[in-house]
Amino acid sequence: MRARTVTAKKAKIMTDTAPKTQPPQTQVPERPDPETQASVPVELGERSYDIKIASGLLHQAGEMIKDRLGQRKCAIITDENIAPLHLGKLQKSLEQAGLSHDVLILPPGEATKNFTPFANACETLLQMQIERGDLIIAFGGGVVGDFAGFAASILRRGMDFVQIPTTLLAQVDSSVGGKTGINTKQGKNLVGCFHQPRLVIIDTDVLHTLPQRELRAGYAEVVKYGLIDDPVFFAWLEEYGPRLLTGDEQARIYAIATSCRAKARIVALDEREGGVRALLNLGHTFGHALEAFAQYDGSLLHGEGISIGMVMAFELSEQLGYCQKDATSQVEAHFKSVGLPTRVTDLPHKPGPSASQLLATMAQDKKVVGGKLVFIMAHDIGESFVDKSVPMDALANYLEGQCCT
């Protein structure tokens, strides 16, 4: 097996600025171990669950749900994009397992994740006579997962739900870890709660119908795990990430399983984001501000926003003296190589956002603690840390330099 050497610093998750140590050298395998399926446990005591990953799992979803959660009446929540493509397979699988079900089909897109559509959906589910012991199945991307999970958390004072994510982004991030919620005028995901699913079923086949732009946007979340604390994975992605985008099944399963393992490990350490879970927000404070500027109208996908946001996080880290310039260039080069945007000036909007606009939105972000912004900064690729002391003037100066409106 051909191998190449990179500097590997994977190990502990850092939560604060820490002195750098000389890392050991390690070998990056040319190909991952052949993995055709994976099962990743999320260890949360009585709220523990598994993430099942393989091609074709949709056909087994009914049996998997029945084996683990028993005979339940189900309510599938999905959207108008997914329903014509994949709903029939899921329904057939539930029927074969003897699980009766109702279906609620939502309009696609971020605009659905709002109070009025949410209230309407809750009333529809109650009209369907959903009971506390029934099961909600979130069958779609991040919007459907967050929306359906939040509905499950409050309907009948809390119901079980299963995540069957259909976008790469939802498969590697939003379906795992129990964050649920909706948006408000003030920003993204500001109303919601933690409510863990009982099972996550990831069928990689559904990615075949995902538009390339969506796939690329989800890929930004995959890269995030390498940047947080796994430089070996980042090196692997530099080499093989493009194959994942062009449909290499083995690369997809390896990348999704590696991402889910990383997320499961962090969530198990810090379920409610009191500490290390904040690392999963690398690039998100910048990214959310850009998404708010773009008004969630589809002109900037979440993954595109955080691709720009992660480059910004590295560059600001560099300007604050935490990180070397070559790390920022390497991160940017990788995102560019797969066609992701990396700069505020890459936004399709002309004029783009002003620095003060972005700062105002960031001040509403959930990552504000005691009036101070909490940022995820980096010493290097795979060496991210939580920083509660980014000076406001340094941030404002940096944004001024980025926003040529």
What residue ranges bind ligand GLY (CB under 6 A)?
173, 177, 179, 277, 280
Catalytic residue flag (residue 343):
no
SS3 187: strand
**If 0-12 CB within 10 Å is exposed, 13-18 middle and 19+ buried, where does residue 196 land?**
buried
Q: Which is nearer to ligand GLY, 62 or 283 (CB)?
A: 283
- Closest distance of CB 346 from ligand GLY, Å: 23
- Closest distance of CB 339 from ligand GLY, Å: 23
Q: Which is nearer to ligand GLY, 179 or 188 (CB)?
A: 179
Q: Per DSSP, what are the bridge partners of residue 194?
A: 179
**Catalytic member of 183, 281, 379, 383:** 281
CA 171 – CA 219 distance, rounded (Å): 10
**Catalytic member of 2, 12, 46, 157:** 157
25-29 vs 3-7, strand pairing mode: antiparallel
Catalytic residue flag (residue 277):
yes
Catalytic residue flag (residue 221):
yes
**Catalytic member of 238, 273, 332, 383:** 273
Q: Per DSSP, what are the bridge partners of residue 52?
A: 39, 201
Contact indicator for 404, 352 with CB cutoff of 8 Å: yes
Q: Which is nearer to ligand GLY, 175 or 402 (CB)?
A: 175
Catalytic residue flag (residue 114):
no
- Closest distance of CB 221 from ligand GLY, Å: 8
**Catalytic member of 10, 52, 252, 302:** 302
- Closest distance of CB 48 from ligand GLY, Å: 17
CA distances from 187 to 190, 289, 300, 360, 363 (A): 6, 8, 15, 11, 10
Q: Which is nearer to ligand GLY, 86 or 179 (CB)?
A: 179
Catalytic residue flag (residue 10):
no
- Closest distance of CB 173 from ligand GLY, Å: 5
Catalytic residue flag (residue 179):
yes
**Catalytic member of 72, 179, 334, 366:** 179
Catalytic residue flag (residue 208):
no
Q: Which is nearer to ligand GLY, 62 or 192 (CB)?
A: 192
Q: Which is nearer to ligand GLY, 105 or 227 (CB)?
A: 227
Q: Write the Ramachandran bin of 22: left for phi over 0, alpha for psi from -120 to 50, otherwise beta.
A: beta
Catalytic residue flag (residue 273):
yes
The C-alpha torsion from 210 through 241 and 281 to 16, rounded to 10°, is 170
Q: Per DSSP, what are the bridge partners of residue 276?
A: none
Catalytic residue flag (residue 263):
yes
Residue nearest to ligand GLY (CB): 280
DSSP letters for 249-303: HHHHHHHHHHHHHHHHHHHHH-TT-SSGGGGGGTTHHHHHHHHHHHTTSSSS-HH
Active site amino acids: 157, 179, 221, 263, 273, 277, 281, 284, 288, 302
